[in-house]
Structure formats: structure tokens, C-alpha cells
Amino acid sequence: MNDQNQHRYKIEAILQNIQERLENIENQLELLNHDIRDNVTPGTKKMSNHIDFIEQVYNKIKSPMQFLCYKMSSRKAPPLPDPTHSQISK
């Protein structure tokens, strides 16, 4: 019986250790979810708004820039590219 009790106590200790580690992992996961929800998502939205703003400004000054480039050079300047999110992410 003594061997059985020792074996049982070892198993209980192992299960207790597993339970504590699982709770630790759950707490860390909760912290990560909190950081993503409160920090990453709003930051991504702000960056998207900034990219949209830059594209709007670029589209407004694209034609005057082409005109200036054409006037300053003796040959016709190539057209400026249209900005898109796919070009920015490359």
C-alpha cells in the first residue's frame, strides 16, 4: 500500500503542476488578447487612415508635379504612378 500511496502522491503533484502551468498560460493569453484589442487594432486603424490621407494629398499634387517636371525638362516627363495599397505594401 505504501508504494500505491507514493505513486498516487506523485501523480497528484504532477497534476497540480500541470494545473498551475495551464493557469499561467491562460493568464498570459488573456494579457496578449488585451494588448491586441486595446493597442494593436487602434494603431492599425490609425495607420490605415494615415495611408489614405497621404494618397489623397498625392493625388491632388500629382498633376501640378507633372506639369512642373514637364516645364523643367526638355523632354516629356513620364507620368507619375497612381498610389494604391498594393503598391505600398510591396
Please check whether residue 89 is in contact with residue 71, taking contact to mean a CB–CB distance below 8 angstroms: no
* Domain definitions of the chain by residue range: 2-89
Question: How far is 53 from 60, CA to CA, in rounded Å?
Answer: 11
pTM summary value: 0.49
Return the pLDDT at 90. Answer: 47
- pLDDT by position in tens, the chain (length 90): 688 889 999 999 999 999 999 999 999 999 999 988 888 877 788 888 888 899 899 888 888 888 887 777 766 656 667 776 555 554
